[in-house]
Amino acid sequence: MIHTALLSYGMSGRVFHAPFIHLHPNLQLVGSWERSKQLIQNDYPYAKSFASLEALLSNDSVELVIVNTPTNTHFEYAKKALLAGKDVVVEKAFTTTLKEAVELKTIAEKAGKKIAVFQNRRWDSDFKTVKQVIEQQLLGAVTEMEIQFARYNPALSPKLHKEMPNPGAGIVKDLGPHIIDQALCLFGKPLSVFADFRITRTNSQVEDYFEILLYYKDKRVRVKAGYFMREPVPSYIVHGTKGSFLKSRADVQEGLLLQGAKPNIANWGAEPESEQGLLHTEKNGVVIRETIPTIKGNYYEFYNKVYEALAHDKPMPVTVDDGIWVMQIIDAAYKSNAAKKVIDL
């Protein structure tokens, strides 16, 4: 058993972490640091509510710490957990700067501890399907791709740490890490980056729109997000030398978890058939245009791989280097937006 503790039990702890830790037969949810409300015992009566970070880190039974606090605290808390002899999982954005990300790697190596970055969107049903289409070369060689978070939400978030200017605020470090990581997962590191950020909502003090162009030798990948996209459009648009694939963002897991569903049902992560992606390509000399079945999503896979990494010394499912690469892209994107030019990596 790997005894695991959360650093907060708000939405992310309640929805994305605790259910899967509880479900895993070899992970034990010890409890969570809760600053004001003590809520974790309502859902997990066996769990403990820690009054302070120090109390949690000094608990010898805690082996794995989930840093799921606001982004501007990730570096400080992850560093303290590593120095306390704990392995860590850090939410996105991994850190606020590339320098912090590299420093956490150094600290972990010196301490002999492991870090995983919680990029759960790698286990979304839509992304898993897109990845399979590309890997099976159903489109030939990919020439361009667009990945986006299209939302319509003009209102500011009630979470002040997301809206007040601070090193972790803004949409680039909120939604950006998800889709940048997906691009890197598919194609590796680009050669250079160009970025454009904007403030579009009334009274917003942080960037709430971005478009980042990743330059590869043989392709271009565009990642973008904003809050004024009312009409749904494909979140994944992939073009290749043989054809195209369009896929909506339709993973059902977050919605089910927010409703209180537990991830232990047979059809967990199954999308509606109406959301199947459109494949328009050429097979054996014949042009086809058809929908294809969507692979089930399952965030449980992330925590199962964390267990395998810690129990059997395998690589973390999303490594510290993966986290560094995402921060390298974000760092270059901020430089590009400021200078209005392409930044070579």
**Is 116:82 a contact under the CB 8 Å cutoff?**
no
Distance CA 248, CA 137 (A): 20
Q: What pLDDT was estimated at residue 73? A: 97
Q: Where exactly does CATH 3.30.360.10 map onto the chain?
A: 121-297+329-344
pLDDT (0 to 100) of residue 76: 98
Please determine, looking at this structure, whether the domain spanning 2-120+302-316 carries the CATH number 3.50.50.60. no
pLDDT at 36 (0 to 100)? 84
Partner residues linked to 183 by β-bridges: none
Outline which parts of the chain fall under CATH 3.40.50.720.
2-120+302-316
Domain 121-297+329-344 has CATH 3.30.360.10: yes
Task: Note the pLDDT of residue 271.
Answer: 96
Q: In a 3-state reduction of DSSP, which class is residue 342?
A: coil
**pLDDT at site 265:** 79
pLDDT for 88 equals: 98
**Closest by CA position to 154, among listed 222, 200, 212:** 200
Question: Which pLDDT score is estimated for 162?
Answer: 87
What number of other Cβ atoms are within 10 A of residue 210's Cβ? 25
**How is 51-80 classified by DSSP, letter by letter?**
SSHHHHHT-TT--EEEE-S-GGGHHHHHHH
CA 149 to centroid of chain Cα atoms: 12
The overall longest dimension of the chain from CA atoms, in Å, is 65
Which pLDDT belongs to residue 261? 92
Residue ranges in the chain modelled with pLDDT below 50 = none
Cβ of 69: how many Cβ atoms within 10 Å?
Answer: 24
Q: Are strands 142-150 and 192-198 parallel, antiparallel or unpaired?
A: unpaired
Q: What is the pTM of this model?
A: 0.96
Using CB atoms within 10 Å of the CB of residue 83, give its burial: 0 to 12 exposed, 13 to 18 middle, 19+ buried.
middle
Closest C-alpha among 178, 184, 344 to residue 254:
178
What tens digit of pLDDT does each residue of 175-186 get?
999 999 999 999
What is the model's pLDDT at position 312?
97
pLDDT of residue 264: 84
* Rg, Å, the chain Cα set: 20
pLDDT digits (tens, 9 = 90+) for 105-163: 999 999 999 999 999 999 999 999 999 999 999 999 999 999 999 999 999 998 888 89
